[in-house]
Amino acid sequence: MTKELKHYINGQWVESSAPNKLDIINPATREVIAKAPNAPKDVTVEAIKVARRTFESGIWSDQSPQERAAVLLQIADVIEENIDELRDLEVENNGKTKREAQSDAEEAASTFRYYAGLLNMPNGQTYEAPGDMQTLIVKEPMGVAGLIVPWNFPLLMSVWKIAPALAAGNSILLKPAEITPMTAVKLFELMDQTDLPKGVANLVLGSGSIVGQTIAESHDVDVVSFTGSTGVGRLIMQAATGNMKKVSLELGGKSPNIIFDDADLETAVDYALFGIFMGSGQVCSSGSRILVQEGIYDKFVEKYVEKAKGIRVGHGNDERSQMGAIVSEKHFESILNYIEIGKEEGANLALGGNRVVRDGLEKGFFIEPTVFTHVTSDMRIVREEIFGPVVAIQKFTDEEEAVKIANDTEYGLAGAVFSTDQNKALRVIKRVRAGITWVNAYHLTNIQAPWGGYKQSGIGRSLSTYGLDEYQETKQININLAPEPVRWFD
């Protein structure tokens, strides 16, 4: 039986009255796993009103940080108790591997724990100003936070936003990607079992153009936090101007992975594979451009292609699979189209390029690990975000050229340098205009560090203390410690 999904508004599961339901698909099999409502504008507006009311009631925002922390820890607990189910739902709906989904679910619990921990820390600043003035700089919740997330990390992206937004004392409305609502619905079922007051956290399922747009435009929403494409980010920023709401945008990338001649070859090849093929390349921070210095270019390409050939593509729930499905037919077609563009542009297709149809994969959306070499900076496959298992390997001669190619992009999300010369590595990574970077590694980050991009990769940061700031107002309170008239007009 396919599950009928519902909205969660004011602590109630709300059935949709509209007859048109969206089929939620397992991208590995094309089976329909659930039916989701497509909320009209009025349902979204109602959910925003509920969030506004609960915020203003103080039922959550006036609780002490310790009390809010206790609830966040309850949420972490229920996530952990249900980790297998969350993992399996993510595999079923998104197509990623079990190992990837397991790591997402674990990080989801850790993120709630981290923000619970921050709530037990002092927050703010003080300053002793002249004239016996004591200044307190305090943080307060913004109000209503609208949270719009993509399909590539449906659970984790939701949690990266929900945990700090709730920690700060906001009320929230979450809109998952239309095609991947399963783990968000489960997360709200779990949060419903905790002491989080009703109406503080709301969930509305539906399209970006209606639900997302309504959130971005609403004058009752004080901050909109969005993760997704740069194009939609631009629309959100425009829609946000009506009430000057704060915007926090985590957008696309085309991140460079720079490999110098003196790099440890095995390590560089390994991370360069992990950098693009993890999550089938549907990761905003993917290292989709590999820049290799001319001295090891041929050797690197040979080893890289040989290793990439061995990646086992398959059903996410098959323990042997190392790379799962592409999330949807539409996205699958878009990636295959980019592969055609790469061929037409004259790049050398060194590996892959096809859908995978072998043993039981013929119904799903699977694409081979695909490697293009001999690419140039003007090619579309080098400039545009493909968001799939497609990597472009480019040659450079020296440090100066590596930096120039690396920064020759409108994006600035992530980047890495591989070299055994630590001075050079640090020198170069400091010149890469990106927010998330590595030396001799890729993709390994932690909740304690801020996540976000330069240039058109976004505005603001997720995670860490910076991630909490996104959901807080900052107020100065100036206290006169020796009150007497100021006598300005005497």
Cite the active site residues: 250, 284
CA atoms within 13 A on the CB side of 349: 16
Rule CB under 6 A: say whether 172 interacts with ligand NAP.
Answer: no
Name 394's bridge partners.
291
Return all residues near 345 (Cβ < 8 A) that are at least 6 apart: 379, 380, 381
Tell me which stretch binds ligand NAP (CB under 6 A): 27-35, 194-202, 244-252, 267-275: 244-252
> Which of 207, 407, 445, 465 contacts ligand NAP by CB under 6 A?
207
CB of 98 to ligand NAP, least distance (A): 20
355 Cβ contact list (under 8 Å, min separation 6): 332, 336, 365, 366, 367, 368
Continuous segment of H or E residues that includes residue 373: strand 370-373
Note whether 96 binds ligand NAP by CB under 6 A.
no
397 near ligand NAP, judged by CB under 6 A: no
Residue closer to ligand NAP, measured from CB, 34 or 177? 177
Should residue 235 be labelled a site residue for ligand NAP when binding is judged by CB under 6 A? yes
Beta-bridge partners for 22: 36
Nearer to ligand NAP, 182 or 425 (CB): 182
Binding mask 321-360 for ligand NAP (x = CB under 6 A): ----------------------------------------
Rounded-to-integer distance, Cα 112 and Cα 161, Å: 10
DSSP string, 136-180: EEEEEE-SEEEEE--SSSHHHHHHHHHHHHHHTT-EEEEE--TT-
Between CA 109 and CA 99 the distance in angstroms is 16
Pick from 87, 113, 161, 175: which binds ligand NAP (CB under 6 A)?
175
With CA atoms as reference, report the closest residue to 336 among 352, 348, 323, 322: 352
| Residue 288 or 321 having the CB closest to ligand NAP | 288
- DSSP letter assigned to residue 208: I
- The distance of closest approach from Cβ of residue 421 to ligand NAP in the complex, given in angstroms and rounded to an integer, is 30
Instruction: Choose which of 88, 107, 250, 469 interacts with ligand NAP (CB under 6 A).
Output: 250
Dihedral of the alpha carbons of 186, 192, 193, 194, in degrees to the nearest 10:
120
Interaction residues for ligand NAP, span 140-169 (CB under 6 A): 148-152
| Ramachandran area for residue 199 (φ above 0: left; ψ -120 to 50: alpha; else beta) | left
**Binding-site string for ligand NAP from residue 273 to residue 312, where x marks contact by CB under 6 A and - marks none:** -----------x----------------------------
- Residue from 177, 263, 381, 403 touching ligand NAP (CB under 6 A): that is 177
* x/- track of binding to ligand NAP for residues 438-477 (CB under 6 A): --------------------x-------------------
Please give the residue ranges that form the binding site for ligand NAP (CB under 6 A).
148-152, 175, 177-178, 207-209, 212-213, 216, 227-229, 232, 235-236, 250-253, 284, 385, 387, 413, 458
